[in-house]
Amino acid sequence: MKDLKKSISKTADNAADAVSDAVDSVKDSVAGIARLDFKKIFDAADKTKADEKTRAALFEKVCAFIPGKINNATVISAFEVMRKQQRLLKKDFTEQIKKNKAAVEKHAADIKKNKGFIEDQNKWTDTTYGESTMQYSGCEIFATFNAIWSILGKSIMSLPEMISEYEKDGMVLSGKFGTSPKAISDFLEKHNFKTELCTDEKDFDEVGKRSESLILTMYNDRDDISQEVHTINISKKDKKYIAHNVYCNGKVLGPFDSVSETIRNINKGKAKGISLIGIRQKKKKQG
Give CA–CA dist 149/115, Å, rounded: 10
Q: How far apart are CA 211 and CA 213, in angstroms?
A: 5
Angle 115-228-131 (CA atoms, 0-180°, nearest 5)? 75
CA angle 150, 115, 171 (to 5 degrees): 55
| CATH number of the domain residue 182 falls in | 3.90.70.10
**Domain of 277?**
1-287
Residue 121 near residue 245 (C-beta atoms within 8 A)? yes
Is residue 30 pLDDT above 80, yes or no? Answer: no
Mean pLDDT of the chain: 84
pLDDT digits (tens, 9 = 90+) for 188-230: 999 999 999 999 999 999 999 999 999 999 999 998 888 889 9
Sheet holding 229-237, edge to edge: 193-198, 272-281, 213-219, 229-237, 240-244, 253-256
Residue 225: closest CA among 24, 68, 53, 41: 68
Give the β-pairing of 272-281 and 132-133.
Answer: unpaired
The 3-state DSSP class for residue 217 equals strand
Q: What is the number of domains present in the chain? A: 1
pLDDT, residue 277, reads 98
pLDDT confidence tier of residue 33, bands split at 50, 70 and 90:
very low
- Residue 15 is classified by DSSP as P
pLDDT digits (tens, 9 = 90+) for 8-27: 444 333 323 333 343 343 33
| Whether this model's pTM surpasses 0.85 | no
Single out the residue of 29, 43, 36 nearest to residue 64, CA to CA. 36
Backbone dihedral region for residue 51 (phi beyond 0: left; psi -120 to 50: alpha; all else: beta): beta
Quick: pLDDT tens for 71-119: 999 999 999 999 999 999 999 999 999 999 999 999 999 999 999 999 9
DSSP letter (8 states) at residue 201: G
- What's the chain's length in residues? 287
